[in-house]
Structure 1
Amino acid sequence: MPASLKHTLIVMPAFNEEASVEHVVREVLTALPGVTCLVVDDGSTDATAELARSAGAVVAQLPFNLGVGGAMRTGFKYALENGFHNVVQVDADGQHDPVEVAKILNGLDSADLVLGARFAGQGQYTARGPRRWAMVVLARLLSRTARVKLTDTTSGFRASGPRAVRLFAEHYPAEYLGDTIESLVIAARAQCVIAQVPVSMRPRAGGVPSHNPIKSAVFLARVGMAVVFAFIRPQVILHERRPLTDKVDS
């Protein structure tokens, strides 16, 4: 079994994803032989947990809906307690292609947190209106914070190495957009090395999109609040910095 998969935990937050979760779990386990897939059932009221378990996933069931941030913190804690070095977030709706996980994991050779970027020259994913404006502004702001050019700071397709796993197991934010925007700021201020690799996104395999045109109009205001919360949160200091020449056993 490749070391990159043996020591990697796929974490899949899922809220009422019975239409897609079984297929996505099977696809992950087929594309990544030997990997462990943890589905965090975030208070679903449908058959999400049962279908994920029948497909071969380990399932953690939360008693009520915490949001993606709360589900991911559960995943990071599970990884830390069970000896996994790396965590890769994969959505349960089928938009993230498991074949691209290897590419993101490879980025951990020189970074602590690697984003799968939708706007980095690969694929045809597009965003319009307020969502696109917010993404552009966020990319510019957070690129300065992370000291590296980032084009897709709201991507949930990302890999965390050992330092980031330890950090996020205790400090992963559960607030709205905390799992994307605020977590990046926390990692950057903790001196984690952040990078991105281009990926392609696919249409949802099932379920209902989390944003519609009306919600997108509110997105700008919520993004602003998320940025404020991110920068007023106390800085977390890790005890050691990653050496620039260090190689992570991913």
Structure 2
Amino acid sequence: MMSNSGHVMSQTWRVSVVMPAYNEAATIGDVIRRTLDTGVVAEVVVVDDGSTDGTAQAAEAAGARAVRNPYNIGNGASVRRGSLAATGDVVVMMDADGQHPPEAIPSLLARLGEYDMVVAARTRNSDTSKLRNFGNRMLIMVAEWISGRRIADLTSGFRAIKRDHLLEHLHLFPNRYSYPTTITLAMMMGGRFVAYEPVDAISRRVHGNSNISPVRDFLRFIAIMVRMVMLFSPQRLFVPMGGMLFLLSAVASTLQYIYTGGIHSAGLALFLSSVYIACFGLLADQVALLRRKRHD
């Protein structure tokens, strides 16, 4: 099958696009029409997260199916609800504010055959905030260390994913922001295949202001990464901690022996702490392994 953009698609997917939206009546109609005009999308599911400006009505007028939240619950919760309502084999997640170009959807789908998720990655040519780019780079460094994999864009909300794999990790989504970080790390650390498709046309919001706070949400992203480590690979956290405490115990014990002729409580406490943490890490790793086997 040949997509509108000239990419050869390895097989035919039924594609559902899920758009969380909060007061996006000014942009959502155009985004939906451009999405349907790609010719590869079977349905657009808009989750209206308690909007007060007629977002749901504008979405339906443009050809989408609207799911309404009675009040604002958050971006992640809306994506979760939209994904459950979607009927396609593949779910494309994208924003309704105009920053994600629907014309790139065929490019994502073209690579989905051998991969389980394809992420639209921002490039140097993308019109995005320099401060946010710097924060994303810092988060990517941490995420790459945690996952042991190269990550081109950790927080992009524009991605295509096979629905059966999405449903495996949907319960992990936070209610507010950070669901892209969650699904990226969950897929990678769960042994799934993830690819990145560079998209120059990703830009800033067309209308309105972002609700993301750089400091608050940076800390939230770090907390999510730690949570993913505990769920999928606890040893990546506990081995360095235990090793550091063991080295400190060795240094402390050596100095104590040199200056006092014996090893005292500080060195012993550090040594025992390193052993306890290593044992806890082994136990947590076994629990994570059993959890993965149960879901496989």
Q: TM-score band, normalised by the shorter chain?
A: 0.7 to 0.9
Q: Which residue of 2 aligns with 1:115?
A: 119
CA drift of 1:181 comes to 1.3
CA drift of 1:49 comes to 0.4
Larger RCO: 1 or 2 (CA < 8 Å, sep 6+): 1
CA distance in 2, matches of 1:55, 1:74: 21
The normalised TM-score by structure 1 is: 0.81
Alignment of 1:1-250 (within 5 A): 7-32=14-39, 35-79=42-86, 82=87, 84-119=88-123, 123-129=125-131, 131-168=132-169, 170-200=170-200, 201-211=202-212, 215-233=213-231, 235=288, 237=292
CA distance in 2, matches of 1:44, 1:172: 25
Tell me how large the CA RMSD over aligned residues is.
2.6
CA distance in 2, matches of 1:137, 1:61: 35
1:20–1:207 CA contact under 8 A, matched in 2: no
- 1:88-115 residue CA offsets vs partner (Å, 9 max, x unmatched): 0121001111110111112212211111
SS of match in other structure, 2:48: strand
Change (3 A) 1:219 1:171: closer
Residues matched between the structures, number? 231
Which moves more between the two structures, 196-205 or 53-62? 196-205
Q: Which residue of 1 aligns with 2:248?
A: none
**Quick one: which amino acid aligns to residue 226 of structure 1?**
I
Runs of 4+ in structure 1 off by over 4 angstroms are: 1-6, 144-147, 233-236, 238-241
Change (3 A) 1:104 1:85: same
2:127–2:204 CA contact under 8 A, matched in 1: no
Query: Which of the two has greater helix per residue?
Result: 2
Q: Alignment identity in percent?
A: 28
2:16–2:43 CA contact under 8 A, matched in 1: yes
CA distance in 1, matches of 2:187, 2:180: 11
The normalised TM-score by structure 2 is: 0.69
- 1:156-213 residue CA offsets vs partner (Å, 9 max, x unmatched): 0011114423314x424124443111222222232211111101213433232334xx
Structure 1 residue ranges without an equivalent (≥5): 242-250
Which moves more between the two structures, 19-28 or 232-241? 232-241
Structure 2 residue ranges without an equivalent (≥5): 3-8, 233-287
1:94–1:205 CA contact under 8 A, matched in 2: yes
SS of match in other structure, 1:115: strand
CA drift of 1:41 comes to 0.7
SS of match in other structure, 2:292: coil
SS of match in other structure, 2:16: strand
CA distance in 1, matches of 2:98, 2:25: 12
